[in-house]
Copies of this chain bind each other. A is one copy, B any other.
Amino acid sequence: MAERASRTVSAASIRNPVGRDGILDVAARLFREQGYGPVSLRKVAEAAGIKAGSIYYHFGSKDEIVVAILDAGIRAVHEKMRQAVLGHPDGAAAAAILRAAIRAHLRALLDVSDYSSANVRIFGQVPQSVRDANLPKRRAYEAEWDNLLTRLQKDGALRRNVDIRRLRLMLIGALNATLEWFDPERGSVEALASAYADVFLNGMLEQREV
């Protein structure tokens, strides 16, 4: 953007230190917007207002930046989802708990965090080594869902014949896919979450008889 008057030499580096977090913020935004391939370190540096070589003071490699962003993305959505579930007592209605979890995941993805959306957008595009580095955090988030779903099934709220792993993959897959088309001008995240919960909980068919 616009530059303030320069003083002596290398003024920007004194006035406006970008730092590790600034680089990550900018990179997460670019990855969310453009995907992994088109985002070079030169683009990240330019968007952050520094030169490409300067990035290597903070990070050892491009992969190191990507892993940091992927991990932060899972952490953000995991925390939101866990808090949403913890907000309900253990005996609360299964439908209400599931609605809250679905809503929390969608809000993290579509509203809150460039890191979470960057994670979903680029995970399938990064080198295998980067995916592997992010896997433990992914597994932990998946386990959080599996624990919730297993508990609800044991309580008799979920159909006994649904496979928990497959249901979790279906849920998270469907929620993450909204990133590709969601447009806040066509409807709120809240309305989207409510509609998704309706179908997942009760199905799309008109209920005639039981």
Enumerate chain A interface residues (CB-CB to B < 8 A). Answer: 35-37, 94-95, 98, 121, 124-125, 156-163, 166-167, 169-170, 173-174, 176-178, 180-181, 187, 192, 195-196, 198-207, 209-210
Contacts and interface: CB of A to CB of B under 8 A. Distances in A.
Contacts of A36: 37, 125
Nearest to A174: B174
Contact of A177 (B162, B177, B198): B177
22 contacts: A35-B124, A36-B125, A37-B37, A98-B204, A121-B124, A157-B206, A159-B198, A159-B205, A159-B206, A160-B206, A162-B198, A166-B187, A166-B195, A170-B174, A170-B195, A173-B177, A173-B180, A176-B177, A177-B177, A199-B203, A201-B204, A207-B207
A121 B157 CA distance: 35
B210 A180 contact: no
* Count of this chain's copies in the oligomeric assembly: 2
A207 B177 CA distance: 27
A161 B203 CA distance: 12
Contacts of A169: 177-178, 181
Contact of A204 (B159, B177, B187, B207): B159
Contacts of A200: 199, 203-204
Contacts of A174: 170, 173-174, 177
Nearest to A187: B166
Contacts of A210: 207, 209-210
Contacts of A94: 205
Contacts of A196: 170
Contacts of A204: 98, 158-159, 162, 167, 200-201
Contacts of A181: 169, 173
Pick the most buried of A176, A198, A199, A209: most chain B CB atoms within 10 A of its CB.
A199
Top-7 shortest CB links A-B: A173-B177, A174-B174, A203-B203, A37-B37, A202-B203, A201-B205, A201-B203
A100 to B, nearest CB: 15
